[in-house]
Amino acid sequence: MALEVSWNRAPRVLIATLTGRIDSANSMDCHKALTAGIGPDDHALVLNMAGVRFLSSAGLRVLLMLAKKFTGPGKAFAVCELTDNINEVMSVSGFAEIIQVRPSQHAAVAAVTGEDGSDADSAGETPDPSADSPDLRNPIDMNVVGENIADLANFTIEKHEFVNGPLAGDVRSEAFKAISDLLWGEIEQALERRKRIIARMFQEAGATLQEVVAKHAG
Protein backbone atom coordinates (compact mmCIF):
# COMPACT_ATOMS: atom_id res chain seq x y z
CA MET A 1 0.00 0.00 0.00
CA ALA A 2 1.48 3.34 -1.06
CA LEU A 3 1.53 6.25 1.33
CA GLU A 4 -1.33 8.70 1.00
CA VAL A 5 -1.01 12.26 2.30
CA SER A 6 -3.87 14.63 3.03
CA TRP A 7 -3.32 18.21 4.12
CA ASN A 8 -5.07 20.46 6.58
CA ARG A 9 -4.27 23.77 8.20
CA ALA A 10 -4.78 24.98 11.73
CA PRO A 11 -3.79 28.49 12.85
CA ARG A 12 0.00 28.73 12.38
CA VAL A 13 0.33 24.98 11.74
CA LEU A 14 0.40 22.76 8.65
CA ILE A 15 -0.98 19.27 9.32
CA ALA A 16 -0.22 16.24 7.14
CA THR A 17 -2.26 13.08 7.75
CA LEU A 18 -0.44 9.96 6.55
CA THR A 19 -2.03 6.65 5.58
CA GLY A 20 -0.17 3.53 4.45
CA ARG A 21 3.44 2.49 4.91
CA ILE A 22 6.87 4.07 4.53
CA ASP A 23 9.66 1.71 3.52
CA SER A 24 12.75 1.66 1.32
CA ALA A 25 10.64 1.07 -1.80
CA ASN A 26 8.64 4.28 -1.48
CA SER A 27 10.62 6.45 0.94
CA MET A 28 11.86 8.94 -1.67
CA ASP A 29 8.39 9.28 -3.21
CA CYS A 30 7.02 9.87 0.29
CA HIS A 31 9.62 12.56 0.90
CA LYS A 32 8.75 14.27 -2.38
CA ALA A 33 5.02 14.11 -1.64
CA LEU A 34 5.49 15.60 1.80
CA THR A 35 7.89 18.37 0.82
CA ALA A 36 5.70 19.29 -2.16
CA GLY A 37 2.89 20.20 0.22
CA ILE A 38 5.01 22.52 2.34
CA GLY A 39 4.92 26.19 1.40
CA PRO A 40 7.55 28.89 2.03
CA ASP A 41 5.42 30.44 4.76
CA ASP A 42 4.92 27.19 6.67
CA HIS A 43 6.97 27.22 9.86
CA ALA A 44 5.32 24.47 11.91
CA LEU A 45 4.45 20.96 10.76
CA VAL A 46 2.49 18.19 12.48
CA LEU A 47 2.42 14.68 11.05
CA ASN A 48 -0.63 12.68 12.06
CA MET A 49 0.53 9.06 11.71
CA ALA A 50 -2.56 7.25 12.97
CA GLY A 51 -2.91 5.55 9.57
CA VAL A 52 0.73 4.48 9.20
CA ARG A 53 1.00 0.71 9.67
CA PHE A 54 4.66 0.15 8.80
CA LEU A 55 7.73 2.35 9.21
CA SER A 56 11.17 1.06 8.27
CA SER A 57 14.51 2.75 8.91
CA ALA A 58 14.15 4.34 5.46
CA GLY A 59 10.91 5.88 6.72
CA LEU A 60 12.68 7.18 9.81
CA ARG A 61 15.12 8.98 7.52
CA VAL A 62 12.19 10.67 5.75
CA LEU A 63 10.89 11.93 9.09
CA LEU A 64 14.37 13.09 10.07
CA MET A 65 14.71 15.10 6.84
CA LEU A 66 11.39 16.79 7.58
CA ALA A 67 12.45 17.49 11.16
CA LYS A 68 15.61 19.18 9.85
CA LYS A 69 13.50 21.35 7.57
CA PHE A 70 11.55 22.59 10.58
CA THR A 71 14.51 23.16 12.89
CA GLY A 72 15.54 26.68 13.79
CA PRO A 73 14.14 29.91 15.21
CA GLY A 74 10.39 30.18 14.78
CA LYS A 75 10.05 26.63 13.44
CA ALA A 76 8.60 23.49 15.02
CA PHE A 77 7.87 19.86 14.18
CA ALA A 78 5.88 17.09 15.87
CA VAL A 79 4.36 13.70 15.14
CA CYS A 80 1.21 12.35 16.75
CA GLU A 81 -1.29 9.49 17.09
CA LEU A 82 1.26 6.72 16.60
CA THR A 83 0.13 3.11 16.64
CA ASP A 84 1.79 0.90 19.25
CA ASN A 85 4.14 -0.61 16.66
CA ILE A 86 5.22 2.76 15.24
CA ASN A 87 5.58 4.22 18.73
CA GLU A 88 7.90 1.34 19.58
CA VAL A 89 9.97 1.96 16.45
CA MET A 90 10.32 5.62 17.46
CA SER A 91 11.38 4.67 20.98
CA VAL A 92 13.80 1.89 20.07
CA SER A 93 15.49 4.01 17.38
CA GLY A 94 15.92 6.98 19.74
CA PHE A 95 13.93 9.20 17.38
CA ALA A 96 11.43 10.03 20.11
CA GLU A 97 14.28 11.59 22.09
CA ILE A 98 14.98 14.30 19.51
CA ILE A 99 11.51 15.22 18.22
CA GLN A 100 8.18 15.96 19.82
CA VAL A 101 5.83 12.96 19.96
CA ARG A 102 2.26 13.60 21.10
CA PRO A 103 -0.67 11.23 21.70
CA SER A 104 -3.22 13.37 19.83
CA GLN A 105 -3.33 15.89 17.01
CA HIS A 106 -4.67 18.52 19.39
CA ALA A 107 -1.69 17.99 21.72
CA ALA A 108 0.75 18.11 18.80
CA VAL A 109 -0.68 21.39 17.51
CA ALA A 110 -0.46 22.83 21.02
CA ALA A 111 3.16 21.67 21.28
CA VAL A 112 4.37 23.26 18.05
CA THR A 113 2.54 26.52 18.77
CA GLY A 114 3.94 26.67 22.30
CA GLU A 115 0.52 26.40 23.92
CA ASP A 116 1.10 23.21 25.92
CA GLY A 117 3.69 24.76 28.22
CA SER A 118 6.02 21.77 28.04
CA ASP A 119 8.12 19.76 25.63
CA ALA A 120 7.60 16.63 27.70
CA ASP A 121 5.11 14.00 26.73
CA SER A 122 4.18 10.47 27.51
CA ALA A 123 5.02 8.78 24.24
CA GLY A 124 5.33 5.47 26.04
CA GLU A 125 8.17 3.88 27.91
CA THR A 126 11.20 2.86 25.91
CA PRO A 127 11.19 -0.92 25.65
CA ASP A 128 14.22 -2.97 26.60
CA PRO A 129 15.81 -4.03 23.28
CA SER A 130 18.17 -6.44 25.06
CA ALA A 131 15.50 -9.01 25.94
CA ASP A 132 16.72 -12.53 25.20
CA SER A 133 13.34 -13.89 24.13
CA PRO A 134 11.72 -11.68 21.46
CA ASP A 135 7.95 -11.79 21.05
CA LEU A 136 7.51 -13.63 17.76
CA ARG A 137 4.21 -11.86 17.14
CA ASN A 138 5.83 -8.43 17.37
CA PRO A 139 7.07 -6.98 14.03
CA ILE A 140 9.45 -4.50 15.70
CA ASP A 141 12.54 -6.33 14.40
CA MET A 142 11.53 -5.94 10.75
CA ASN A 143 10.25 -2.40 11.30
CA VAL A 144 13.57 -1.23 12.69
CA VAL A 145 15.87 -3.23 10.42
CA GLY A 146 13.74 -2.50 7.36
CA GLU A 147 14.85 -3.87 4.03
CA ASN A 148 18.33 -2.36 4.04
CA ILE A 149 21.00 -2.17 6.73
CA ALA A 150 22.35 0.94 4.99
CA ASP A 151 19.14 2.82 5.80
CA LEU A 152 19.52 2.08 9.49
CA ALA A 153 23.21 3.02 9.50
CA ASN A 154 22.55 6.26 7.65
CA PHE A 155 19.64 7.12 9.94
CA THR A 156 21.84 6.60 13.01
CA ILE A 157 24.52 8.89 11.61
CA GLU A 158 22.04 11.53 10.46
CA LYS A 159 20.29 11.50 13.83
CA HIS A 160 23.66 12.22 15.48
CA GLU A 161 24.34 15.02 13.00
CA PHE A 162 20.87 16.44 13.61
CA VAL A 163 21.78 16.94 17.27
CA ASN A 164 25.54 17.56 17.11
CA GLY A 165 26.33 18.92 13.65
CA PRO A 166 27.90 17.31 10.56
CA LEU A 167 30.70 14.76 10.77
CA ALA A 168 33.85 14.85 8.68
CA GLY A 169 33.72 12.66 5.59
CA ASP A 170 36.28 10.11 6.81
CA VAL A 171 34.60 9.85 10.22
CA ARG A 172 31.24 9.37 8.55
CA SER A 173 32.57 6.60 6.28
CA GLU A 174 34.25 4.77 9.16
CA ALA A 175 31.12 5.07 11.29
CA PHE A 176 28.94 3.74 8.46
CA LYS A 177 31.11 0.65 8.01
CA ALA A 178 31.39 -0.01 11.74
CA ILE A 179 27.63 0.34 12.28
CA SER A 180 26.81 -1.85 9.27
CA ASP A 181 29.17 -4.61 10.43
CA LEU A 182 27.71 -4.47 13.92
CA LEU A 183 24.13 -4.64 12.68
CA TRP A 184 24.76 -7.62 10.44
CA GLY A 185 26.31 -9.41 13.40
CA GLU A 186 23.31 -8.58 15.57
CA ILE A 187 20.91 -9.83 12.90
CA GLU A 188 22.76 -13.13 12.59
CA GLN A 189 22.62 -13.61 16.36
CA ALA A 190 18.93 -12.68 16.47
CA LEU A 191 18.12 -15.17 13.71
CA GLU A 192 19.93 -17.92 15.59
CA ARG A 193 18.03 -17.06 18.79
CA ARG A 194 14.75 -17.10 16.91
CA LYS A 195 15.50 -20.48 15.35
CA ARG A 196 16.26 -21.91 18.79
CA ILE A 197 13.04 -20.45 20.22
CA ILE A 198 10.92 -21.85 17.38
CA ALA A 199 12.59 -25.27 17.67
CA ARG A 200 11.90 -25.29 21.41
CA MET A 201 8.27 -24.32 20.82
CA PHE A 202 7.77 -27.28 18.48
CA GLN A 203 9.44 -29.62 20.95
CA GLU A 204 7.33 -28.38 23.85
CA ALA A 205 4.16 -28.55 21.74
CA GLY A 206 4.94 -32.16 20.84
CA ALA A 207 5.69 -33.05 24.46
CA THR A 208 2.44 -31.45 25.62
CA LEU A 209 0.50 -33.40 23.00
CA GLN A 210 2.07 -36.66 24.21
CA GLU A 211 1.14 -35.84 27.82
CA VAL A 212 -2.50 -35.25 26.87
CA VAL A 213 -2.63 -38.41 24.74
CA ALA A 214 -1.02 -40.48 27.50
CA LYS A 215 -3.48 -39.16 30.06
CA HIS A 216 -6.42 -40.35 27.98
CA ALA A 217 -4.87 -43.61 26.74
CA GLY A 218 -6.51 -46.84 27.77
| Domain annotation for the chain: domains and CATH numbers | 4-216 (3.30.750.24)
Give the pLDDT band (50/70/90) at residue 116: low
Q: What is the pTM of this model?
A: 0.68
Helix, strand, coil % in the chain, rounded to nearest 5 = 50, 15, 30
For residue 181, pLDDT beyond 70: yes
Tell me the β-bridge partners of 52.
20
Residue 117 CB-density burial (10 A; 0-12 exposed, 13-18 middle, 19+ buried): exposed
**Residue of higher predicted confidence among 149 and 138:** 149
pLDDT tens digits for range 51-85: 999 998 889 999 999 999 999 999 999 999 999 98
Mean pLDDT of 154-174: 93
Are 80 and 101 within 8 A, CB to CB?
A: yes
pLDDT confidence of residue 106: 95
SS3 at position 70:
coil
Q: Kindly report the CA angle at 99 between 98 and 102, in degrees rounded to 5?
A: 135
Phi, psi of 123 (to 5 degrees): -85, 5
What are the residue ranges of helices labelled H in 70-168? 84-93, 105-112, 140-145, 149-164
